[in-house]
């Protein structure tokens, strides 16, 4: 089976690997070089609000030591980044991605909107089966997908698969990277064991290996696809996982009987068919929701009334879903979320609310909010600095694209820096043009291949780019039709 090829002419316009003739000035500058840690100065974004003229101190172990306005001791031998005109944010966390599909260009929009995910997966009920060519997992393609997310300011992913290095993989012990330890999140695409295309209404006769409450309650974080669709068959999935009295007749020891997994460590991915009563139950039990509006709209024609969900006090995080029907980056998923809330629902979301969906809320979904998702002492220094011009500093992060990412640190280690920062004394870093700005990628310990050669290899294979323009090619729609 052939890998679907991204058009070469379009790829050439996107890949961004060109010779550097000029450097665009960055907002950040290095004003002092020291070896005892890092001090970032600028507008610091926190869940409580933005700290103007703030400071973040990162110690030698890659942990945050201080956040505030008076952290810096003049005697400290630290490297100082003056980012006074920039926003300093926790790295973005993508709580829903199928990274093994990162090489597949977005599916062509054939104008068909389905009622349940099995309609397009299996071609059920008269709908068109959408081929996604899942024939084997290729680590090179996963790396390439992680790199695309990293360049967009995402430092952690719950992705179902992984490659070592680059972003943290929060659902794999081997992918947590320095600073994080087990337990991990557990991602389950088919908690009812219904991958074969089982549709039910009125009972819970799904596959023989459906999850149990006991299994789920023992996990640190359980992130599961539930109710992905808009019909009764989709809502039935939630009934079978939230109401123990709904179906009492078991087909076997593990299946056929409803259960209740609505627990504080559980997050429901998509949850598109949930009723107002269902959402009240989610809220009252402290469960969470992972929202992927672009994929919802492109496949089903609609998405959640997210303002109503938030008004119930439910913690909501964003996820890109996957490249075939979702967003190429969290930056583009944020753009879709803002568009659908403001233009379709007529209930604009504040930039801070969107920012929380990809930082602290996402960390809560992953069960790792003690370690990441927020800039506070003792937490891991996964940090992204965004340039830009916006009266709301949170909008500098949420209105960003790859070109406005000035600095990326994972555990205090610099992985990307805008070339205009200057005076970095970084070794083994490669210059790459991203959106007309020269960046240094410091990934020699992450990749066994230079980025330029990696990009050339992916281009020859027709793989979707890692370097994106502000509006990525063939992006699925974010305009609801239902």
pLDDT single digits (tens) 165-178: 999 999 999 999 99
Q: What is the mean pLDDT of residues 40-65?
A: 96
Residues in a beta bridge with 441: 416, 430
Hunting for tokens 């550097």 — which residue is that?
A: 20
pLDDT value of residue 13: 32
37 in Cβ contact with 76 (< 8 Å): yes
Which element (helix H / strand E) includes 3?
Answer: none
Per the prediction, the chain carries an average pLDDT of 91
Per domain, the residue ranges of the chain are 8-91+373-460, 93-366
Summarised one tens digit per residue, pLDDT across range 256-309 is 899 999 999 999 999 999 999 999 999 999 999 999 999 999 999 999 999 999
* Per-residue pLDDT band at 23 (split at 50, 70, 90): very low
8-91+373-460: CATH topology: Urease, subunit C; domain 1 (2.30.40)
Asked if pLDDT for residue 435 goes beyond 60, the answer is: yes
Phi first, then psi, for residue 152 (nearest 5°) are -95, 5
Which whole-number Å values give the CA distances from 30 to 27, 40, 79, 214, 249, in the listed order?
Answer: 10, 9, 7, 52, 67
Q: What is the mean pLDDT of residues 129-151?
A: 85
Q: pLDDT higher for 330 or 427?
A: 330
Calculate ∠ Cα 352-357-361, nearest 5°.
110
Q: How far apart are CA 270 and CA 278, in angstroms?
A: 13
* Per-residue pLDDT band at 477 (split at 50, 70, 90): very high
Q: How many contiguous H segments (helices) and E segments (strands) does the chain have?
A: 13, 18
What is the share, in percent, of the chain residues with pLDDT greater than 70?
92
* Per-residue pLDDT band at 19 (split at 50, 70, 90): very low
pLDDT value of residue 97: 98
Confidence (pTM): 0.94
Q: What is the mean pLDDT of residues 325-349?
A: 97
144 in Cβ contact with 466 (< 8 Å): yes
SS3 percent helix, strand, coil of the chain, rounded to 5, is 25, 20, 50
pLDDT value of residue 288: 98
Asked if pLDDT for residue 35 goes beyond 90, the answer is: no
Q: Write b or e for each residue in 421-448: b if 16 or more Cβ atoms lie within 10 A of its Cβ, otherwise e.
A: beebeeeebbebbbbebbbbbbbeebbe
- Write the DSSP string, 161-196: S--SSSSEETT-GGGS-TT--S--EEEES-TTS-TT
* Closest by CA position to 38, among listed 82, 68, 70, 85: 82
- Order of all β-strands in the sheet with 92-94: 92-94, 154-157, 168-169
Is 93-366 CATH 3.20.20.140?
A: yes
Phi first, then psi, for residue 41 (nearest 5°) are -120, 130
């Amino acid at each position: 089976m052939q890998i679907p090829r991204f058009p070469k002419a379009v790829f050439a316009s996107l890949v961004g690997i060109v010779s550097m003739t000029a450097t665009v000035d960055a907002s950040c500058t290095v004003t002092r070089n020291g070896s005892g840690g890092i001090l970032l100065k600028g507008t610091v974004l926190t869940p409580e609000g933005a700290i103007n003229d703030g400071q973040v101190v990162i110690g030698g172990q890659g942990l945050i030591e201080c956040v505030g306005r008076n952290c810096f001791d003049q005697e400290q031998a630290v490297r100082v980044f003056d980012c006074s005109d920039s926003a300093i944010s926790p790295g973005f966390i993508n709580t829903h991605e199928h990274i093994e599909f990162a090489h597949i260009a977005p599916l062509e929009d054939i104008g068909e909107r389905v009622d349940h995910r099995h309609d397009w997966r299996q071609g059920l009920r008269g709908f068109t089966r959408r081929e996604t060519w899942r024939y084997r997992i290729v680590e090179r393609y996963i790396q390439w997908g992680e790199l695309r997310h990293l360049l967009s300011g995402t430092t952690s992913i719950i992705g179902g698969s992984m490659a070592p290095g680059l972003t943290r993989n929060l659902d794999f012990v081997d992918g947590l990277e320095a600073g994080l330890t087990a337990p991990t999140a557990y991602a389950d695409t088919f908690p009812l064991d219904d991958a074969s295309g089982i549709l039910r209404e009125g009972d819970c006769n799904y596959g023989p290996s459906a999850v149990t409450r006991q299994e789920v309650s023992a996990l640190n974080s359980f992130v599961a696809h539930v109710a992905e669709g808009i019909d009764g068959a989709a809502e039935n999935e939630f009934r079978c996982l939230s109401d123990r009295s709904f179906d009492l007749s078991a087909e076997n020891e593990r299946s056929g009987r409803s259960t209740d997994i609505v627990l504080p460590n559980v997050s429901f991915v998509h949850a598109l068919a949930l009723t107002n009563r269902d959402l009240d139950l989610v809220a009252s039990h402290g469960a969470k929701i992972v929202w992927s509006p672009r994929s919802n709209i492109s496949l089903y024609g609609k998405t959640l009334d997210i303002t109503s969900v938030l008004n119930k006090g439910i913690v909501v995080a964003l996820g890109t879903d996957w490249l075939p029907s979702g967003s190429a980056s969290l930056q583009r998923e944020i753009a879709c979320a803002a568009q659908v809330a403001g233009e379709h629902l007529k209930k604009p979301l504040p930039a801070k609310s969107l920012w929380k969906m990809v930082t602290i809320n996402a960390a809560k979904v992953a069960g790792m909010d003690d370690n990441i998702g927020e800039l506070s002492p003792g937490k891991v220094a996964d940090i992204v600095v965004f340039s830009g011009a916006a009266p709301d500093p949170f909008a500098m992060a949420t209105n960003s694209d790859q070109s406005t990412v000035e600095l990326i640190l994972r555990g205090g280690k610099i992985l990307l820096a805008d070339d205009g920062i200057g005076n970095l004394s970084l070794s083994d870093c490669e210059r790459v043009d991203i959106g007309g700005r020269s960046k240094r990628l410091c990934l020699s310990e992450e990749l066994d291949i230079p980025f330029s050669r990696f990009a050339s290899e992916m281009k020859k294979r027709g793989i979707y780019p890692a370097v994106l323009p502000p509006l990525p090619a063939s992006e699925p729609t974010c305009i609801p039709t239902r």
